[in-house]
Chains A and B, each alone.
Chain A
Amino acid sequence: LATTSIKHNTLAVACVVRYKRKYVTQILYAPL
């Protein structure tokens, strides 16, 4: 899991997922 520092009450988390033969960095922004 990758995270960024919380800014404006918003948290961003990410992880790199393999989808079939390609790599997707899924980034989710969520409010605190």
Chain B
Amino acid sequence: SPEQIRRDQRIGLEAIREFLQSKTSFDVLPVSYRVIVFETSLLVKRALNILLQNSIVSAPLWNSKTSRFAGLLTSNDFINVIQYYSQNPDQFQFIDNLTLNGLRDVEKAVGTTTSLETVSIHPFKPLYDACVKMIQSSARRIPLIDEDEDTHREIVVSVLTEYRILKFVSMNCKETKILLQPLHELNIGTMTNISAAKLETPVMEVIDLMIQKSISSVPIVDDQDKLINVYEAVDVLTLIKGGLYTDLTLSVGEALLKRSDDFEGVYTCTLNDSLFAISETIRKARVHRLFIVDDEGKLLGVLTLSDILKYILFS
């Protein structure tokens, strides 16, 4: 009965919260894994190539002069550089020689308000605390920092993402099975003021949209408002690969041609789907958000991993 389903939903959420309280971020880490770190004196265009070469979209930075962790390189940084270039097209040489040290100045120059201080957390704190910190800082990833026992210098143990945490929950928390309430009853996700674009929209306009609304993806719809694709923040990495800024004049449809062939596609769901079904999808595939569509495929809204994490922790 709907009442039983609602009761189960509450029981399931409580159980998942307890699970998150009982585990540490360290528990999410595989037995053996790698951490790719960039020295802050590295050129931005080199760092970009290394990210693409390793099929990653972010990396912790290490300032060898101070021997300290210097924040995370993310797609936001590349979006700032693109914005700086579009505002100062004569500064190509400056951008070509830009090192990771210089990204904070570019961030100030374009006036983005990303939190200057990267939040981090100790690996042995409860996983619940890492989730709270990520949600509070609207970061989608959080570095795990410990200190060296002898020298008390920082160790970047790893970087946890929302996706990895939700995947860990879906794989280890059987209570996800009783989260069967349909999305339309949960008041979750963004259903109004969705900024969408068309395939012909200039990619720079889409990037400006991401900056203005602090979003990491813009749905692409056709003339009947049917969802046909999505431009994601991580797509800007392929746009300026090799330090070329000539492709900024492309339409977003053309820019999407640069996506690598192993892109797994955009995930959609309907308002009748449950968090159990979504959790199963996260367990099996690299899902970073789901677009909510109606029976004809028209765009209704978007459900991000932050929305899901926020709902699990605070609803």
Contacts and interface: CB of A to CB of B under 8 A. Distances in A.
A31 B42 CA distance: 5
Interface residues of A, number: 17
Given A29-B50, A30-B64, A31-B39, A20 B26 contact: yes
B33 A10 contact: no
A10 B49 CA distance: 11
Nearest to A17: B155
Interface in A6-26: 8-10, 14, 19-26
Given A8-B46, A10-B42, A10-B50, A27 B37 contact: yes
Given A28-B39, A31-B42, 19 more contacts: A8-B46, A10-B46, A10-B50, A14-B34, A19-B123, A19-B146, A22-B26, A22-B31, A23-B31, A24-B35, A24-B157, A25-B32, A26-B35, A28-B38, A29-B39, A29-B42, A31-B39, A31-B43, A31-B46
Interface residues of B, number: 27
Interface string B39-69: 1011100110110000000000010100000
B111 interface: no
A9 B50 CA distance: 13
B217 interface: no
A16 B146 CA distance: 17
Majority-rule SS of B interface residues: strand
Interface of A: 8-10, 14, 19-31
B274 interface: no
B32 A27 contact: no
A23 B39 contact: no
B212 to A, nearest CB: 33
